[in-house]
DNA sequence: ATTATCTATAGATCTATAGATAATGC
DNA sequence: ATTATCTATAGATCTATAGATAATGC
């Protein structure tokens, strides 16, 4: 196993399953074929098509206003199949948000694995996510479409950022306002950045992302010099998406 | 004129129309009786009932998802009357947002009339609006319900805050990130504060508002000492709502 | 034989309008 | 006489399900 490619799995799109014998965490939404029978894989494909359509519709700003018919058409599946997977639009949108954001959250976890200063983990996460407009426009579009509802999703970015803010406070690294209030300001800044980039790509470059990170660090109580230093450090390499 | 009350205008709810001979700006949504015939006033009442219902529904988080029937029931008017005033739900919600926010924006303008430092105008506006949960819970609920859509409303809070950020930058008072990005972060912070207060009134008091203002000033590039000074100044008195 | 997907449709909304009723103007 | 509001309803969705069809398991 491992090197022998399964029939039905196309070359060039394989996902790294293990590195030197150590299994990597597999996000639930990985677009590789899941284990199980061929029927299971077909069902998973349909489910993923629905989730992808939901994410695309949120990115278009038509989020919850889309009808189930529009969703299944975008997913290119039969109308009735929707109910094999989800009980309601709300459930689909919730699931889709959680999966997309959690997948990105785990990506960030891996990118920040080498860092220990909470302020640096926080800033690095923000700087990587602020670059989504360039690196992962689809995900960026989904996030701008979701807006502050992002904060209500119990997985993905918000819980991680809140964890970092709190541990930064505990470590005396931050002297922030109320953590959830600070988190909401951070989310607002990130959303603003992604939206400006979307609407007007020329007026924003990557230094604007680092300037936002620097400003947010100052907001959280980091000194001016420290904020500048942390926000201009080299960024870790991202894995393949 | 001016001192003689019109018949049909109830005592105790009069709105200050002029001060020392200088006419004050009159918000379109003032709940006093508008000029014109009695028919005009009846029409205006119906319209205001629709706007009030829309604001209430947004505050309940059911915003655009409410049906026109729900709206007219909440407004306690006949279903068909809706179309005498608005072509669509979207138009009603847009109008309602603009009127409510613009009215509040003008209130803030008057409260800040004596200030000239852009940083202080900005901080005072934020500190007053951060207290909405205590002073004007209905408006606070509307704002939390609207979320970052607030930023797309062309009147009210967002344009004023953007103006202050830009003039603060022009005056060398702020060394902020991209103005619209900064604005979005400010909005996120305000929304977070109002939401935490809504969900959990005990954990937030008015010093938390001032701490947010202080943190936001630091984000905008104001020095630590200056930020503290500005965010703890006595607040101007508000007029009656 | 089993399971998932697809098509077709009943029933429940929801919107927009027509026509009746009530209030106001003159 | 004019104008706004109200009630009732036609037509257009939209959701949820039943039953037929297609794919897979064994």
Query: In the prediction, which pLDDT does B114 show?
Result: 92
Per-residue pLDDT of A5-34, as tens digits, reads: 333 232 322 233 333 333 334 444 444 556
The yes-or-no verdict on residue B180 having pLDDT over 90 is: yes
Sequence-distant (≥ 6) Cβ neighbours of residue B62 within 8 angstroms = B70
Beta bridge partners of A22: A19
DSSP A24: P
DSSP structure string for A184-220:
HHHHHHHHHHHHHHHH-GGG--HHHHHHHHHHHHHHT
Q: Is B19 helix (H, G, I), strand (E, B) or coil?
A: strand
Nucleotide closest to residue B49 (CA–C1'): D5
Q: Integer distance in angstroms from CA B33 to C1' D6?
A: 23
CB B5 under 7 Å to nucleic chain C: no
Question: Residue B166: what pLDDT?
Answer: 97
**Rounded Cα gap, residues A171 and A52, in angstroms:** 40
Determine whether the interchain pair B181/A221 forms a contact, defined as Cβ–Cβ distance below 8 Å. no
A residues 93-122 closer than 8 Å to B (CB): none
Residue B12 C-alpha, separation from nearest chain A C-alpha, in angstroms: 38
pLDDT class for B177, splitting at 50, 70, 90?
confident
CA distance B231 to B124: 8
- Taking every pair of C-alpha atoms in chain B, what is the biggest distance, in angstroms? 58
Write the CA distances from A11 to A5, A6, A8, B152, integer angstroms: 8, 10, 9, 45
Best residue of A93, A177, A179, A226 to probe chain B, by most B CBs closer than 10 Å: A177
Q: Which residues of B171-194 are buried (b: 16+ CB within 10 A; e: fewer)?
A: eebbebbbbbbbbbbbbbbbbbbb
Q: Which pLDDT band, with edges at 50, 70 and 90, does B204 fall under?
A: very high
Query: What is the DSSP-derived secondary structure letter of residue A154?
Result: S
Residues of A in contact with B65 (CB under 8 A): 64
What's the mean pLDDT when you consider all of chain B? 88
A78 strand C contact, CB < 7 Å: yes
| A19, containing H or E segment | strand A18-19
pLDDT band for position A4 (50/70/90)?
A: very low
Nearest CA in chain A to B174: A215
By C-alpha distance, which of A35, A39, A12 is closest to A23?
A35
Give the whole-angstrom CA distance, residue B123 versus residue B131: 12
Measure the CA–CA gap between A131 and A218, rounded to whole angstroms. 20
Q: What is the pLDDT of residue B240?
A: 86
Per-residue pLDDT at A173 = 96
Q: What is the pLDDT of residues B121-156, one digit of tens each?
A: 999 999 999 999 999 999 999 999 999 999 999 999
- Furthest CA-CA distance within chain A: 59
- The fraction of chain A above a pLDDT of 70, given in percent, is 85
What is the Cα gyration radius of chain B? 19
pTM score, two decimals?
A: 0.87
Alpha-carbon distance of B160 to A89, in angstroms, equals 37
Helices (H), B27-131: 38-59, 68-75, 82-85, 89-111, 118-130
CB atoms inside a 10 Å sphere around CB B31: 14
* Arithmetic mean of pLDDT, A160-189: 96
CB contact B213 to A (< 8 Å): no
Alpha-helical segments (H) within chain A: 38-59, 68-75, 82-85, 89-111, 118-130, 132-135, 137-146, 157-170, 179-199, 206-219, 224-231
Q: Is B196 in CB contact (< 8 Å) with chain A?
A: yes
Q: Is pLDDT of A169 > 70?
A: yes
Question: Of the candidates A148, A211, A218, which has its C-beta nearest B188's C-beta?
Answer: A148
> What phi, psi does B142 have (nearest 5°)?
-60, -45
Q: Which bin fits B178, alpha (ψ -120 to 50), beta or left (φ > 0)?
A: beta
Question: What percent of chain A stands above pLDDT 90?
Answer: 82
- In angstroms, rounded to a whole number, what is the distance separating the alpha carbons of residues A149 and B233? 34
Q: Given the DSSP bridges, would you call strands A18-19 and A22-23 parallel, antiparallel or unpaired?
A: antiparallel
SS3 A102: helix
Crossing angle (nearest 10°) for helices A89-111 and A137-146:
130
Query: What was the pLDDT predicted at A91?
Result: 97
Q: Helix B89-111 to helix B157-170 angle, to the nearest 10 degrees?
A: 50
Of A20-29, A74-83, B174-183, the one with minimum mean pLDDT is A20-29
pLDDT (mean) for A99-119: 96
For residue A9, the model assigns a pLDDT of 31
Greater confidence (B86 vs B5) lies with B86
Q: How far is the CA of B241 from the C1' of C25 (A)?
A: 34
Residue A180, token pair as written in the block: 């959830």
Residue A240: band (very low, low, confident or very high) from pLDDT cuts 50, 70, 90:
confident
pLDDT digits (tens, 9 = 90+) for B37-73: 999 999 999 999 999 999 999 999 998 899 999 999 9
Q: Give the rounded percent of residues in chain B with a pLDDT score beyond 90.
A: 82
pLDDT at B24: 38
Q: What is the pLDDT of residue A64?
A: 86
Note the pLDDT of residue A179: 98
pLDDT at residue A107 in the model: 97
- Look at residue B32 in the predicted model and tell me its pLDDT: 56
B18 sits in which H/E element: strand B18-19
The mean predicted confidence, pLDDT, of chain A is 88
What 3 state SS string does B109-175 have? HHHCCCCCCHHHHHHHHHHHHHCHHHHCHHHHHHHHHHHHHHHHCCCCHHHHHHHHHHHHHHCCCCC
């Amino acid at each position: 196993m491992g090197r022998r490619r399964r029939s039905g799995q196309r070359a060039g799109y394989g996902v790294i399953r293990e590195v030197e014998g150590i299994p990597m965490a597999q996000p639930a939404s990985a677009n590789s074929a899941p284990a199980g029978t061929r029927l299971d894989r077909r069902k998973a494909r349909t489910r993923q098509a629905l989730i992808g359509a939901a994410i695309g519709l949120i990115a278009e700003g038509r989020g919850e206003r889309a009808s189930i018919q529009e969703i299944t058409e975008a997913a290119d599946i039969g109308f009735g199949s929707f109910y094999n997977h989800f009980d309601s639009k709300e459930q689909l949108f919730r699931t889709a948000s959680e999966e997309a954001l959690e997948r990105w959250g785990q990506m960030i976890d891996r990118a920040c694995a080498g860092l220990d200063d909470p302020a640096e983990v926080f800033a690095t996460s923000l700087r990587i996510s602020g670059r989504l407009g360039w690196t992962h426009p689809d995900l960026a579009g989904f996030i701008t479409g979701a807006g502050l509802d992002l904060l209500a999703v119990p997985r993905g970015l918000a819980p991680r950022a809140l964890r970092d803010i709190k541990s930064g406070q505990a470590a005396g690294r931050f002297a922030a306002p109320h953590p959830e209030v600070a988190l909401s300001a951070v989310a607002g800044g990130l959303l603003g950045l992604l939206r400006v980039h979307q609407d007007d790509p020329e007026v924003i470059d990557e230094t604007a992302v680092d300037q936002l990170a620097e400003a947010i660090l100052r907001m959280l109580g980091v000194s001016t010099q420290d904020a500048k230093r942390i926000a201009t450090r080299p960024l870790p390499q991202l894995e393949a998406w």
